[in-house]
Amino acid sequence: MKNLFLQTFGCQMNQYDSERIARVMGRMGYAVTDCVENADLILLNTCSVRDKAEQKVYSALGRLKEIKEQRAGVIIGVGGCVAQQEGEALLKRVPHLDLVFGTHNIHKLPEIVEQVQTLENRPVETAFYRDPSYMEDPEGTTEVQGSKAFVTIMQGCNKVCSFCIVPHVRGREVSRPSEKILREVKALADRGVVEVMLLGQNVNSYGKMTPGELSFAELLGRVNAIDGIERIRFTTSHPQDLSPDLIEVFAELDKLCQHLHLPVQSGSDGVLARMRRGYTRADYLDRIERLRARRPEVALSTDIIVGFPGETDDEFGATLELLEQVGYDEIYSFTYSPRPQTVSAKLYDDDIPDDTKRDRLSRVQSLQREISLRKNRERIGGIEEILVEGRSKLKNGQIMGRTRSNRIVNLFGPESLTGALVAARITGATATSLIGELAQAVTASDLHPEGESA
């Protein structure tokens, strides 16, 4: 048995891809290790969505130089979005690197590693495929740990957001055949998975490019019918594509969790136009209103970019106002960084000074902390269904789980509850999580199907 050290950067899509990497290399006799010193093969699955993410990859590669010097036999490879973006150039920049594989080339990894071993060359595989079979694993999902799992349903993106590198590094939209997805979800349910997160850059475009394929709303309906699956989530949905049928599905499907991540990026129409997002602030608010009319308890989260080129104080102010107006439960916020090949990097100077960007970021974050705290406090006194994920990050002997609205709950209870759906009484709140206790008298199935506050 050989050892594989696998480091994942970035999004959930990359986490799913890393699980696939572990599986395909497992079949070649590699076992995943936590210890880089013991590794025969070191693979970095990388992210280039923002400059900071990309810099992390180069620092990690820098640290690996010493390992390569000590043990020449170790193979070091880079996959994912930085690999796709840089290709051959990565090999030049990093002399101790042995191989590069792009976002569509995980199925080729065994061949690529073998090439390094037998031919002693430095292969680069970054071809894009239009046929979705490159996303399939012939032997299917073999190992899952825990009761939550990711399932990629599509890759790539056909949108043209001016700041975004994703279409360049993940390619055009390609959807997996629905029967493969449903087979995978059934197999996961058979192994005890109760919650699935369906992944794609823009899941609401699922199937649109494939004649005869299910729509995303129909796919959700089929997943909802699979026995054993209790909770369904998905990410991400582009606001422009939040269609009436998807809104309807939120009202109809009992297993679809009441949480939607709907990235808005900015509250200013001027910035949204420069970002080429394809909607106005009013369009966005209208969709949220329709969704809340059909599923009032839905929790909302979003992504915000501050310091986009030309962002004035007023335009930034519009974003702060929008946060108040929508009342998000959670946000992910970033300072703008120009990315290679993107339209915004070509058209506009990155003209907002770093300290202004940082100041705007901290204003967004402190406003959101107030809003999140307010919203979390509203949950106190209620009983919520949580899926226990294991020991709490607080390291205070507590366990943690997530509500259907995606809030973290920390509470005292046996670790043996990991993987179980239990009822928690909410006794306190912070801006980032809830505090609870096991509600002994009730089981999850006694709860209102929505897991709403009593």
Which residues lie near ligand SAH (CB under 6 A)? 49-50, 163-164, 166, 201-202, 236, 263, 265, 303, 305, 334, 336-337, 339
Sort strands 41-46 and 75-80 into parallel, antiparallel or unpaired. parallel
157-187 CB burial, b ≥16 within 10 A, e <16: bebebbbbbbbbbbbebbbbbbebbbebbee
Minimum distance, C-beta of residue 244 to ligand F3S, in the bound complex (Å): 20
Q: DSSP secondary-structure letter at 267?
A: S
Question: Which of ligand F3S, ligand SAH, none does 222 bind, CB closer than 5 to 8 A by kind?
Answer: none
Question: Which of ligand F3S, ligand SAH, none does 357 bind, CB closer than 5 to 8 A by kind?
Answer: none
Return d(Cα 19, Cα 8) in angstroms, integer: 10
Residues that bind ligand F3S (CB under 6 A): 157, 159, 161, 164, 166-167, 201-202, 238
Question: Which of ligand F3S, ligand SAH, none does 284 bind, CB closer than 5 to 8 A by kind?
Answer: none
Minimum distance, C-beta of residue 340 to ligand F3S, in the bound complex (Å): 14
Residue with Cβ nearer ligand F3S (166 or 387): 166
Residue type, 429: A
Question: Which of ligand F3S, ligand SAH, none does 49 bind, CB closer than 5 to 8 A by kind?
Answer: ligand SAH
Return d(Cα 241, Cα 199) in angstroms, integer: 15
Of 86, 95, 18, 88, which is closest to residue 61 (Cα–Cα)? 95
Minimum distance, C-beta of residue 103 to ligand F3S, in the bound complex (Å): 12
List the beta strands (DSSP E) in 295-382.
299-306, 330-335
Question: Which of ligand F3S, ligand SAH, none does 334 bind, CB closer than 5 to 8 A by kind?
Answer: ligand SAH
Minimum distance, C-beta of residue 263 to ligand SAH, in the bound complex (Å): 4
Question: Which of ligand SAH, ligand F3S, none does 167 bind, CB closer than 5 to 8 A by kind?
Answer: ligand F3S
Residue with Cβ nearer ligand SAH (164 or 422): 164
The dihedral region occupied by 67, where left means phi > 0, alpha psi between -120 and 50, and beta the remainder, is alpha
Return d(Cα 332, Cα 261) in angstroms, integer: 10
Minimum distance, C-beta of residue 387 to ligand F3S, in the bound complex (Å): 28
Cα–chain-centroid distance for residue 279?
A: 23
Question: Which of ligand F3S, ligand SAH, none does 337 bind, CB closer than 5 to 8 A by kind?
Answer: ligand SAH
Quick check: helix, strand or coil at residue 11?
coil
Minimum distance, C-beta of residue 8 to ligand SAH, in the bound complex (Å): 16
Return d(Cα 280, Cα 269) in angstroms, integer: 6
Residue with Cβ nearer ligand F3S (240 or 453): 240
Residue type, 415: E
Minimum distance, C-beta of residue 349 to ligand SAH, in the bound complex (Å): 14
* C-alpha torsion sign, points 84, 88, 91, 92: negative
